[in-house]
Structure 1
Amino acid sequence: MESSKREKRKVGLIGCGAIGSEIAVAIDSSRVNAELVAVYDACRERAYTLVSRLNKRPMIADSIEALLASDTELIVEAASQQAVKDYARSIVEHGNDIMLMSVGALLDDTFYAELCSLLERHGRRLYLPTGAIAGIDAIRSVKHMLKEVTLTTTKHPRALTGAPFFKEHRVNLKGLKKARVIYNGYAREAVRLFPANVNVAAILSIAGIGADKTKVKIVADPRARRNIHEIHAKGEFGELYFKVSNVPSPSNPKTSYLAVLSAIECLSRACNGRVSIGT
């Protein structure tokens, strides 16, 4: 009952695609104790399409400046890694907390350090949903004891299509008849080459031993019906193993539905704030 008496936080949204739309609908249906006051998308038509679905119509901002002038308290980014780099500093400097979906942008160490400095200076908070994986609380708890962390992501080839990786490597996804490892490396490079597919590698790196030590293996499997993420961690504490088999988002096969649900839960915690579960 207490949370229902709290004043709703005023939220702005950047990115009106699949994830942004799901977050907006969750706010509109009162699943989150917030008021969506403004939305912005570089594609104005996407913003209009989203707003037409909502009962409570937020303002459609024609620029980031207009979004930040709309009396927001918390901005949710659901656009791209580039959007994070372009807008995150201004968001914090305008006195907003920020929730990022495109966590991969934070693997730019210089940018992340600068953003953390701004957060400290302005007394703002940064929220990072765990996305389509499990076990982040456990990884954070033992990060000082970790020796090895490996993420194996398996997706249907159509969920990987269009990644920058394929501009640098010739892989015929359409010709695959069985599962094939198409990438085996480390998180920093993986997030650059697959920005829409392995943001989970970024959050895992930040929670654990870093982007240059977190191993990433990406498997394209034409028989896959779900997006599968497996985490194997070893250290002085013992071993951890997590496997999540995700249904793809109905509106975007590149995204696991759990990533959407994780974002909604993270936003709900940011807006309610009375009870915090987990590490």
Structure 2
Amino acid sequence: MARELTVAIAGLGAIGLHLARALDAGVEGLRLVAVAARDQAKAQANLAGFRNPPALVGLAELAQADVVVEAAPAAVFEQVAVAAIEAGRIFVPSSVGALLPRMHLVARARETGARIVVPTGALLGLDAVRAAAEGAVASVAIETRKPPRGLLGAPYLDQHGIDVAAITEPTLIFEGNAFDAAQGFPANVNVAAALALAGIGPERTTVRIWADTTVTRNTHTIRVEAASARLTMTIENVPSEENPRTGKITPLSILACLRGLTSTLKVGS
């Protein structure tokens, strides 16, 4: 019988709280033991109804668990990641965009025996992209369309004086590679970062971001030209009520990723 894995979560927002509730309800082979949150009083209130409330700890203490899930603001990404990697844990980041400029963490994980497991998140087709990348790939591109309010707070907008609240028609606000997109939109393009890691790297992955007043869902279209296949895939994610930058499917994807760590039957690469 496979041993049980303990899980800790950094952040109890739209992603972390949903995930914590699902784990508390019961997932075979997984046990929630600790969480960390910026608002301690709110976290205590949210955990009050849990069947087995986890310990509320500091970010560094999350590394006591076998698996550390990062679902926190990108500003604390490195603090969570370093603690987990130094302890040789399985690190599951939701802020995948924050990993791109910190690839030294991958090298360090190799030294400590830690693993970094990137969930699919709000994307689709990563299995197909990974398979295609085992052969020759000519290009990988992703086009993201979000309601303007879903882009609020992105550093790129402040740097370029773009007021998305004033946009009244579909507007292309960014075109570049995945590395630059992740830096300019750290809370918005985790999908592009995951795609880049699965495929041909952040410098060669093309990203276009639209503030689109005609859409109500966060929409991502991926196009891949490879020797083995031509892929065109579109996903329309329902935004979370708590945080419109995050799709409702994101915490579900992380839960599926965690199940895959212990399940007897695992579907997909």
| TM-score scaled by length of structure 2 | 0.93
Matched-pair contact (CA < 8 Å) for 1:32–1:267: no
Amino acid at match of 2:131: S
Indicate yes or no: 2:127 matched with 1:137. Answer: yes
Counterpart-to-counterpart distance in 2, 1:213 and 1:171: 26
Question: What does residue 102 of structure 1 align with?
Answer: 95
Counterpart-to-counterpart distance in 1, 2:183 and 2:28: 32
Provide the alpha-carbon RMSD of the alignment. 1.8
Cα deviation for residue 221 of structure 1 reads 1.2
Instruction: Figure out how many residues of one structure are paired with residues of the other and give that number.
Output: 268
CA-to-partner distance for each residue in 1:220-269, whole Å, 9 max, x for gaps?
Answer: 11121111000011122341100001111232211111212111100111
Segments of 4+ moved more than 6 angstroms: none
Question: What does residue 118 of structure 1 align with?
Answer: 108
Question: What does residue 19 of structure 2 align with?
Answer: 23
Question: What is the identity percentage for the equivalent residue pairs of Structure 1 and Structure 2?
Answer: 34
Counterpart-to-counterpart distance in 2, 1:174 and 1:58: 39
Question: What does residue 61 of structure 2 align with?
Answer: 66
What SS is found at the alignment partner of 2:168?
coil
Indicate yes or no: 2:161 matched with 1:166. Answer: no
Counterpart-to-counterpart distance in 2, 1:73 and 1:174: 42
| TM-score scaled by length of structure 1 | 0.90
Question: What does residue 264 of structure 1 align with?
Answer: 255
Matched-pair contact (CA < 8 Å) for 1:17–1:79: yes
Runs of 5+ in structure 2 lacking a partner?
A: none
Counterpart-to-counterpart distance in 2, 1:65 and 1:35: 19
Structure 1 residues 45-60: aligned runs within 5 Å = 45-60=41-56
Question: What does residue 275 of structure 1 align with?
Answer: 265
Amino acid at match of 1:64: L
Question: What does residue 255 of structure 1 align with?
Answer: 246
Amino acid at match of 1:274: T
Amino acid at match of 1:66: E
Amino acid at match of 1:206: L
| Bigger Cα displacement from structure 2, 153-162 vs 89-98 | 89-98
Amino acid at match of 1:185: G
Indicate yes or no: 2:234 matched with 1:243. Answer: yes
Cα distance change of structure 1 residues 215 and 7 upon mapping to structure 2, 3 Å threshold: same
What SS is found at the alignment partner of 1:181?
strand
Matched-pair contact (CA < 8 Å) for 1:187–1:202: yes
Amino acid at match of 2:61: A
Counterpart-to-counterpart distance in 2, 1:245 and 1:182: 19
Runs of 5+ in structure 1 lacking a partner?
A: none
What SS is found at the alignment partner of 2:142?
strand
